[in-house]
Amino acid sequence: MDWNKTNTILITAFIILNVFLFVSSKNIRNAEHNPNYDKEFAQEVAYLLEEKNIKINVEIPNNIYILPVLETEYEIIKIDSNLLTNFLNERIEPFEDVYKYTNSKGETLEIIDGKKLRLTLRNKVDDKINEDSKIQEEINNFLKEKNIDASGYVESFKHTSENECIYAYTLKYNDYSIDNSYMYFFVDNEGIYKFEMQRIISVDEIPEKIRTIYAIEALPRILTYPEIKNKEIIKIEMTYYSAEDENWHNIERINSDPTWKVIFSDGTQIHLPGIE
């Protein structure tokens, strides 16, 4: 048994328990109570995050939402010669139970969990990134060349580091991003070097709507991510999300819940449950 890991889990569980006991004591579950105006609660949340050196450098959203849960269906990628030709520009025959293919240029296409498509065109160059206004044109040309329908997708996130820029496009539904349905473009100083995509092909609302919790109520759940520390929160927004666990390869249809997304200054993102 890994006692260090067990100890970490127990400590985290204890901290979270204390948070929810504090929430209960402040009567935050009362529908009329807005915890954003409870200075004691807000300070307690800030102290909890500071224990992991997590700073909040953004205004915390001050509202809740009444939203439906979404039933989503994913595109299951069929690996055939048409797919391989489209993305690798060569006639390549597929083999059963083979999910990674390479063309004569060294470009690689990989299908992950039956739903994620990852195309690596080359290795990333380490030159300092020069943000070029023509990158949007390159993205549009890429989508056209690879016959990818981008309707319904909008740029939802962009992160620039010294030698890389990541552009994320997600499927929009009633002004909210469905974060599991995405296109990621990885760009260096020479242009797009990698692309990843996962697509939802149908969305249906479950009739009964639910009331979300406030963002400040969700933030203590960051402590359940032991790897998240020494970071700065720069954005918090409501999205739709389904947790991709070890059984993700078996999933074709799944509910997507209203979820608070937290974005950190280093580009890291996590999703915190937006409902009880």
Q: What tens digit of pLDDT does each residue of 32-60 get?
A: 567 776 788 888 899 999 999 999 999 99
Tell me whether residue 74 is exposed, middle or buried, using C-beta atoms within 10 angstroms of its C-beta: 0 to 12, 13 to 18, 19 or more.
buried
In a domain, 53, yes or no: yes
Q: How far is it, in rounded angstroms, from Cα 148 to Cα 200? A: 13
* Contact between 237 and 61 (Cβ < 8 Å): yes
Q: How far is it, in rounded angstroms, from Cα 32 to Cα 116? A: 43
User: Does pLDDT of 19 surpass 90?
Assistant: no
In a domain, 248, yes or no: yes
| Tally of CB atoms within 10 A around 232 | 14
Q: Return the residue matching tokens 């990852």.
A: 118
Domain count for the chain: 1
Q: Return the residue matching tokens 């997304």.
A: 261
Containing structural domain, residue 14: 3-71+204-273
Q: Residue type for 100, please?
A: K
In a domain, 57, yes or no: yes
In a domain, 96, yes or no: no
pLDDT-derived band at 193 (thresholds 50, 70, 90) equals: very high
* Sign of the C-alpha dihedral computed for residues 55, 57, 59 and 60 taken in this order: negative
In a domain, 116, yes or no: no
Catalogue the E-assigned strands of the chain.
Answer: 54-56, 66-74, 100-102, 108-112, 116-120, 153-160, 165-173, 176-188, 191-198, 200-211, 231-241, 253-264, 269-273
CA 63 to chain centre: 21
What pTM was estimated for this model as a whole? 0.89
* Sign of the C-alpha dihedral computed for residues 108, 109, 111 and 116 taken in this order: positive
Provide the pLDDT for residue 12. 59
User: Does pLDDT of 27 surpass 80?
Assistant: no
In a domain, 78, yes or no: no
Nearest partner of 243 among 19, 78, 66, 72, judged by Cα: 72
User: Does pLDDT of 108 surpass 80?
Assistant: yes
Residues present in the chain in total? 276
CATH of the domain at 229: 2.40.128
In a domain, 219, yes or no: yes
* Sign of the C-alpha dihedral computed for residues 39, 42, 47 and 50 taken in this order: negative
Largest CA distance in the chain: 65
In a domain, 239, yes or no: yes
- Overall average pLDDT of the 131-140 stretch: 84
User: Does pLDDT of 91 surpass 90?
Assistant: yes
Q: Which residues neighbour 16 within 8 Å (Cβ) at sequence distance 6 or greater?
A: 220, 221, 223, 224
User: Does pLDDT of 131 surpass 90?
Assistant: no
